[in-house]
Structure 1
Amino acid sequence: MSFSVSRPLLPVVIDHLCRIYPDEDNNTLASRILEAMHLEQGAFTAELHQNKWSESDLWVITYGDSILHPDEAPLKTLKRFSDQYLKPEVSGLHILPFFPYSSDDGFAVINYAQVNESLGDWPDIEAIGADYDLMADLVINHCSQRSQWFENFKQRKDPGKDYFVEADPETDLSEVVRPRTSPLLCETQTLDGIRHVWCTFSHDQVDLDFANPELLIEMVRIIRRYLEQGVRIFRLDAVAFVWKEIGTNCVHLPQTHELVRLLRTLIEAHTEAAIVITETNVPNHENLSYFGNANEAHAIYNFSLPPLLLHALVTGTSAHLKRWQMSMPPAQTGTFYFNFIASHDGIGLRPANGLLSQEDLDELVNTMQSFGARISWRAVSGGTNEPYEINVALYDALQGTSKGPDKWQQQRFLCAHAVMLALEGVPGIYIHSLLATQNDYDKLELTGHNRSINRHRWDYDALTAKLLDQASHHSQCFTAMKNLLKIRSQQPAFHPNAFQAVLHLGDEIFAFWRQSLNRNQSIFCLHNMTDEIVEVPINSINLTSLDVWQDLISGDTYSFEDESLHIPPYGFVWLTNRG
C-alpha cells in the first residue's frame, strides 16, 4: 500500500545533510542546495511505497552512437531506429554517457553540462526524452583528468581546487576495495607541487571529493539540468565508492547511503515521476543494501543474475541460480530489481562471490575464453589479482556449453532472455543483445580495451538489411525477442512487483510462479537449462484443476488431466490461466 508523507522540504534536506556533514552550517547549505535545484523550501510530499512502473516498462541500453548513418547526428539516428523498430514494446532508453569524454567510452566525463558534439546536442536528447522514458548516467564518483575542474585543481583555483580526493602515498591503503589493477594514487604536478590524487578506476578517472559541500552543490546543478532536458531515470554510476575515509575499505560507507537518500529527495521533489537506480557491481548482499528501507534507491541493478544465468546455461544445472533466487527478498512496493544479462561492460564476477564456488567460476571463465571472451582483472589484498568480469557479446557467450559449441546457440540465447523477462523486476536489454551482435574483434584490436569486444557500432543501412533478411540470425533473434517483449508487456502477473515463488522441478528446469497484484492471473514459467528434452509431469506444477492453462509462447493449452510437458532443449513455457 502506498502512502504520502508531507513535510517542509528544508528540514528534510537539513536532516540528510546533518548525517553527511555534521560539522557544517547545514541550514545555510540546505538553502543553497534548494536554490541550486530551483526548489522552494515549502511543503514536500514524499510518495512512499508507490510503484511508478508496470509490466509494460522495458528499457534498451545503448550508446548514443551504437547505430550510425552518414551525414546524420547519431542521436537522431538512434531516435529514428527506435521509432521504427523498437516501438511500442520498448518504453525507455538508457543512453550511456553522452557527454564529452576522454576515455572509457564516456565514463571519464570532461563536461557534464554538454552533449558530445559528435553525437548531437541537447535538443536531440530532449526529443528522445519526449517519446521514451530516458535514463542517463550521473557519473558521480569521478571525472576526466581533462575536465576544467581538474585543470583548475592543477592550477590551484576554483572551481576544482578542492574537488578531488588526495592521499599521502605513505598511508596504508591496502584495505581499499578496488575494481581495477592500476595503482590507486596518481602522482599529479600542480602549482603547489606534487599531489597524489585518488583514482578508483583509472588514472584518467579522478575521484571527486564529496566531503566538500561545494562539489555537492555543483552536482545538484547538473542533476537539475538533466531533469530540465527530459531525463527521468538517473543511473548513479559506481556510487558505492563515492565517499572515502582513510582506515576503511572506502565502499558502502554510511555517508554514501545518505548521499543517495539526499539525491533521491531532491530529484523527486523536482520531478515526482523520476527514478533513481544505483549501479553497484558488488557481492549480492552488499548490493541489496541500496534499497534502504524503500527510501534510498528506487531500483538496484540485479548484478548476480548475469553470471548465475550464464553458468546455468553452459553447465546445464540451475541449482545455483535457483538457490540464489530463493534467498532474494521480494522488492518492497516502491522499489524494484533492474534485471539485465548483458551490458556495455562485461559480465561481472564479484556479484557471484559466495554464490558460485571457485571451481564453478574457473569453469565459467575457461568456457567463455574458449568462446573468444576476454577477462578483465582486479587487484585484491595480498598483491594478487582475480578475474573481475568476462568481456564477451552475449550471443557468442551462449554458442555452446562447457562441452563446447553446439547447434543450440540461438535457442539458448532466447531462453536466457525469457528468464530475465519473466523474473520479478524491470528488464533492461542491451542493444547488442536485442540485435544478436557478435564479438567485435576488430574494435578490440583497434582500442586494446577488453570491453570493446561488446561495443560494436552498426551502420544503419547494414543493420536494417540484416533485420529484413529472414535468413539472418540477427533477424530471427530480433523477431523472436520482440514477440517475447510484446507478450510480457500484456501480462499483469509480470508486473515488476508481482508475487514470485521458485518451483522445484529438478535442476534441469529453472521454474518459478508469478501472480498478479490483484491475484487474477498466474503464470508458471519453466525454462529448460539443458541440451536434452525434459519431461515435466503436469501434477508437479500444481496447476489448479478448475482452469485451462495456455502457454503464452506457443498458444498450446493444457489441463490438469494432461500427463506431462515435454520441453525441448533450451525451450521455455509460460503457462497462464488468463486468456
Structure 2
Amino acid sequence: MQTDLAPGFPANPLGIPESTGRRARVALTRLRPVLARHARERIVAGRLDAELWPAFERRLERHFPDLYGHLLALYAGRDDIAHHTERLLLVALDSWLARPAELQRRDADREGTFWYTDHTLVAGVCYVDRFAGDLRGLAERIPYLRQLGIGLLHLMPLFAVPPGQNDGGYAVSDYRQVRPDLGTVDDLRALATALHDAGIALALDFVFNHTASDHRWARELRAAPAGAVDDEDQNPYLMFPDRTVPDAYDGTLREIFPETRSGSFSFDAELGRWVWTTFNSYQWDLDYTNPGVFVRMAGEMLALANMGADVLRLDAVAFTWKRIGTGSESLPQAHDLVRAYNALVRIAAPAMVFLSEAIVHPDEVVSYIDPAECPLSYNPLQMALGWEALATRNTSLLRQSLSHRLALPPGCAWLNYVRSHDDIGWTFDDGDAGLVGINGFDHRAFLNRFYTGRFDGSFARGLPFQENPKTGDARVTGTTASLAGLEKALTEEGPAEVDLAIGRILALYGVAFALPGMPLIYLGDELATRNDHGYRADPDRAGDSRWANRPAMAWDRLPLTQQAGTPEARVNEGLARLTLLRRHPAFAGPATTVLDPGDDAVFAFVRRTGDDAVLVLANWTERPVALPAQVVTAALAVPQVTDLLGGDDWSSDAGTITLAPYQQRWLTTRSIVRD
C-alpha cells in the first residue's frame, strides 16, 4: 500500500502528512459505526452468533488500509469513492454473516497460513460433464480422486452460459446459478463439503474480465430506457457510440481470436453501441474504471467463496484494465484491482486464495505473484519449454529460462502443468532464446509446425488454434498423449514408438512434479487419453480445436490400468509413483538450483530443504546419455546415492551415470519418503 504523500489529496492546514494510510484510518473511523449497526441488525434478525461482528471487525482493522489504498490508486479522482467504499464493505459484511459455519471454521484454521504451499499437494483439473456427467456424479468419484492423490480439484467453469457457443464455459450468464445439466448450487455446496471432508480443496473460476452478452446486467440494459446505456450506474460494460475510440484502441491491441473476427470490438445493433469484446462477440468486457462495477463483481466473487471455493482462478487477469495507446494488458491498475479484491477476501473469506491465469510474457507472469495479489500462479514457461525441449531434443532454452525464473516471494507457489483445457502458446522470452542462439519468431513457427504434424519427423498429432495470417502467430491444441506421440505410435507405428511416447509423457510430468510448486494433472492424462476428434461433428464446437483436448473421461478404459504393459497402466503407474515420491522432504522447500550437466540432452536441477537434497537428471531425447560422475558428486557432495524413481543405488566408482531414452533419475542420499 502507498504510504507516502498522496498527490491527489489537498494540503493539510494542520501540517499532518497526508498518506493513503491516514486517509484509510479516517475513512474506517467514519464507516465502522455504519457497519456495526448493520451487523447488529442482521445478527438480531437472523439469530446469528454475536461473535461474527468482532471477527469481521478484527480483520477489517487489519486489512482495510490495503483495500482502501488500492481503491484510491484506482478511483482517487472520483467524488463518489466514499459511497462505493461503504457499499463494498456492506457487501463484504453480508457475505461474512451468510458464510456457512464450516467455512468460517476453515477461515480460522487457515488465516495467516500458506496451506497451498504444502509440497505433498497434487492438483487435478476437469470439466464436470466430461469427467463425471454432473456434480452428483463427480461426488461419487471422490474415492478415485483420493486414490490418485489429488489434494486440490479445479472444476472448469460450471455456471450458467448462453445456449450454443460459450467459450468452454467462460461466457458466464449467471455467477450464482449452475448449468442446469450439471446440477444446482446446492449440489455444488454439497460437493464442496464432501471434497473438504475427503481432504481435497476446491478451485473454481472467477471470470471477471467479462460476462456473457445474455447476463442479467446486459438484459436489464437492453430493457431499460434509451439513456441507460450512458448511465454508469446501469451500464457496467465498455461501450462506445461510434468507431472513434475503438479505432484508437485497436491500433495497439493484439487480436486474441483472429480466426473468429478482426479487432476487439463488436457492434450490438439493439443498443446501437460498439462493445469491447476482447475474446468473442458474446463476451462483453466490464468497465472497471467504474467503481460500481468493482462492487458488483465483489458480490459475485464472495458468493463463489461461500459456495466452498478454496482457490479462485482469476481468468484473463491481464486484460481487466484498458488504456488508449497501450496493449491494455498487465497495466498497473490491473494489479491494484486484484490486490483490492485480495484484501477484501482477507476480510470476508480468508481461507480462500487467488490463482493467477496470466499466460503472457514471463516477466508479466511473475508480476502477479505475491501473497497480497495472487499467491498461486500457473507456470506457463515450464509448460511451454517442456514441449519445446521435446521437439528440439535440446534443453538449453529450458535451462537458461528456468535458471533465473523459478524463484517466487515467500508464501507463493507455482502450479506446474503439462497441458490445460486451452492451447499451448510459446511464451518464452526472446532474450533468453537469443542467449542460446535461437531466433524467437522463427522458433515459434517451427514449434507450431512440429506439434501440428507439419514438420517431417514430428511425433505429434496436435491441431492448430487461432492461426493469424497477418502475423503468422498460432497456438497448438492436443492432449498430452497425442502431442507426445502416443496417438501416432498406436495408429501408424509400433511398440518401440509407443515406448518412446510414454517416456515423453512421464518426462513432462516428472519435471512438473519435481520442480518447486504444485503439480497439476489434467484428469484423463493418467489414462493416456488421446485427442477427441469427434468435436468436429458438433456445430457449436467444430470451429474450436481446443475441444480435441477436452475428451470425455474414458472410464471404460480404467480396467486397462490393471493390465501390465498397456499404455494406460504404464502412465498411471508412473504418475502414482511421482505422487508418492514427491513427499520426499527435499521437496518441502522451494530452493532449486538449475545445473548445466554438460550435455544439452539432459535437464538437471537440485531441490534442497535443510539437509535433504534430490538431484533430478532428465533425459529429454530418445538416445541414451552418459554423464560423468562429477555431475552427481558435485551436486550432492557424496559418492553414493539412491535413485528414488528406479530404486537402485549408484556409486561414483562407476565413472559415469547413464540415462536411458527419456529416463529420469531422482538421486538422493536419503530415500525415506513420508507416508
Q: What TM-score comes out, normalization by structure 1 length? A: 0.90
SS in 1 for 2:168: helix
Relative distance call for 1:81 and 1:464 in structure 2 (3 A) is farther
Q: Higher RCO, 1 or 2 (CA under 8 Å, sep at least 6)?
A: 1
Q: CA deviation at 1:559?
A: 3.3
Aligned partner of 1:114 among 167, 172, 177: 177
* Aligned counterparts of 1:123 and 1:6: Cα–Cα separation in 2: 29
Equivalent residues in 2 for 1:132-531, closer than 5 Å: 132-156=200-224, 161-167=234-240, 168-170=242-244, 171-172=247-248, 173-181=250-258, 182=261, 183-190=263-270, 193-291=271-369, 294-351=371-428, 354-356=431-433, 357-370=440-453, 371-377=460-466, 384-399=470-485, 406-407=497-498, 408-446=500-538, 447-448=541-542, 449-458=544-553, 460=555, 462-488=556-582, 490-495=583-588, 497-505=589-597, 506-516=599-609, 519-531=610-622
Output one character per residue of 1:167-203: Cα deviation in whole Å (capped at 9) or x when no partner: 341332210233221231111123xx51000000010
1:37 aligns with 2:128: no
One-letter amino acid matched to 1:112: Y
Output one character per residue of 1:489-531: Cα deviation in whole Å (capped at 9) or x when no partner: x112223x42100111121110100001xx1210000100111
Q: Name the residue aligned to 2:629.
A: 538
* Aligned counterparts of 2:559 and 2:377: Cα–Cα separation in 1: 36
Output one character per residue of 1:267-293: Cα deviation in whole Å (capped at 9) or x when no partner: 12223332111101111111111125x
* Aligned counterparts of 2:265 and 2:305: Cα–Cα separation in 1: 34
User: 1:48–1:334: 8 Å Cα contact kept in structure 2?
Assistant: no
User: 1:393–1:453: 8 Å Cα contact kept in structure 2?
Assistant: yes
Which range moves more in the overlay, 244-253 or 5-14?
5-14
User: 2:361–2:429: 8 Å Cα contact kept in structure 1?
Assistant: yes
* Aligned counterparts of 1:126 and 1:116: Cα–Cα separation in 2: 14
Relative distance call for 1:52 and 1:308 in structure 2 (3 A) is closer
User: 2:643–2:667: 8 Å Cα contact kept in structure 1?
Assistant: yes
* Aligned counterparts of 2:578 and 2:663: Cα–Cα separation in 1: 13
* Aligned counterparts of 2:373 and 2:563: Cα–Cα separation in 1: 46
Relative distance call for 1:325 and 1:543 in structure 2 (3 A) is closer
How large is the RMSD of aligned CA atoms in angstroms? 2.9
Relative distance call for 1:160 and 1:456 in structure 2 (3 A) is farther
What runs of 5+ residues in structure 1 fail to find an aligned partner?
none
Output one character per residue of 1:333-359: Cα deviation in whole Å (capped at 9) or x when no partner: 111112112000011224465555233
Q: CA deviation at 1:166?
A: 1.5
One-letter amino acid matched to 1:479: E
Which range moves more in the overlay, 265-274 or 307-316?
265-274
Q: Name the residue aligned to 2:667.
A: 575
Q: CA deviation at 1:485?
A: 1.0
Q: CA deviation at 1:547?
A: 6.9
* Aligned counterparts of 2:130 and 2:64: Cα–Cα separation in 1: 42
* Aligned counterparts of 1:79 and 1:548: Cα–Cα separation in 2: 47
Aligned partner of 1:561 among 653, 664, 668: 653
What runs of 5+ residues in structure 2 fail to find an aligned partner?
1-57, 97-106, 434-439, 454-459
Instruction: Name which one, 1 or 2, has greater alpha-carbon Rg.
Output: 2
* Aligned counterparts of 1:27 and 1:378: Cα–Cα separation in 2: 47
One-letter amino acid matched to 1:82: I
Answer 1 or 2: which has greater strand percent: 1
User: 1:14–1:27: 8 Å Cα contact kept in structure 2?
Assistant: no
Q: CA deviation at 1:6?
A: 9.2
* Aligned counterparts of 1:560 and 1:336: Cα–Cα separation in 2: 35
Output one character per residue of 1:355-397: Cα deviation in whole Å (capped at 9) or x when no partner: 5523322222112111332212366xxx923334201111111
User: 2:606–2:614: 8 Å Cα contact kept in structure 1?
Assistant: yes
User: 2:482–2:488: 8 Å Cα contact kept in structure 1?
Assistant: no
Q: CA deviation at 1:50?
A: 4.8
Output one character per residue of 1:286-324: Cα deviation in whole Å (capped at 9) or x when no partner: 1111125x4321022111222211111122110110010
* Aligned counterparts of 1:479 and 1:372: Cα–Cα separation in 2: 24
User: 1:411–1:570: 8 Å Cα contact kept in structure 2?
Assistant: yes
Output one character per residue of 1:106-132: Cα deviation in whole Å (capped at 9) or x when no partner: 001111111112112223323332322
Sequence identity (%): 24
Q: Name the residue aligned to 1:28.
A: 83
One-letter amino acid matched to 2:236: Y
SS in 2 for 1:143: strand
User: 2:288–2:294: 8 Å Cα contact kept in structure 1?
Assistant: yes
* Aligned counterparts of 2:626 and 2:383: Cα–Cα separation in 1: 26
Relative distance call for 1:361 and 1:343 in structure 2 (3 A) is same
* Aligned counterparts of 1:337 and 1:468: Cα–Cα separation in 2: 32
* Aligned counterparts of 1:559 and 1:364: Cα–Cα separation in 2: 39
Relative distance call for 1:544 and 1:322 in structure 2 (3 A) is closer
SS in 2 for 1:522: strand
User: 2:174–2:215: 8 Å Cα contact kept in structure 1?
Assistant: yes
* Aligned counterparts of 2:153 and 2:487: Cα–Cα separation in 1: 32
Q: CA deviation at 1:536?
A: 1.6
User: 1:319–1:507: 8 Å Cα contact kept in structure 2?
Assistant: yes
One-letter amino acid matched to 1:454: N
User: 2:613–2:669: 8 Å Cα contact kept in structure 1?
Assistant: yes
Relative distance call for 1:40 and 1:10 in structure 2 (3 A) is farther
User: 2:532–2:547: 8 Å Cα contact kept in structure 1?
Assistant: yes
Aligned partner of 1:127 among 177, 186, 190: 190
SS in 2 for 1:65: helix
User: 2:288–2:320: 8 Å Cα contact kept in structure 1?
Assistant: yes
* Aligned counterparts of 1:213 and 1:286: Cα–Cα separation in 2: 25
Relative distance call for 1:354 and 1:269 in structure 2 (3 A) is same
Q: What TM-score comes out, normalization by structure 2 length? A: 0.77
User: 1:528–1:568: 8 Å Cα contact kept in structure 2?
Assistant: yes
Relative distance call for 1:271 and 1:5 in structure 2 (3 A) is closer
Q: Displaced runs of 4+ in structure 1, greater than 6 A?
A: 44-49, 157-160, 400-405
Relative distance call for 1:566 and 1:459 in structure 2 (3 A) is closer
User: 2:586–2:614: 8 Å Cα contact kept in structure 1?
Assistant: yes
* Aligned counterparts of 2:209 and 2:181: Cα–Cα separation in 1: 24
* Aligned counterparts of 1:385 and 1:278: Cα–Cα separation in 2: 27
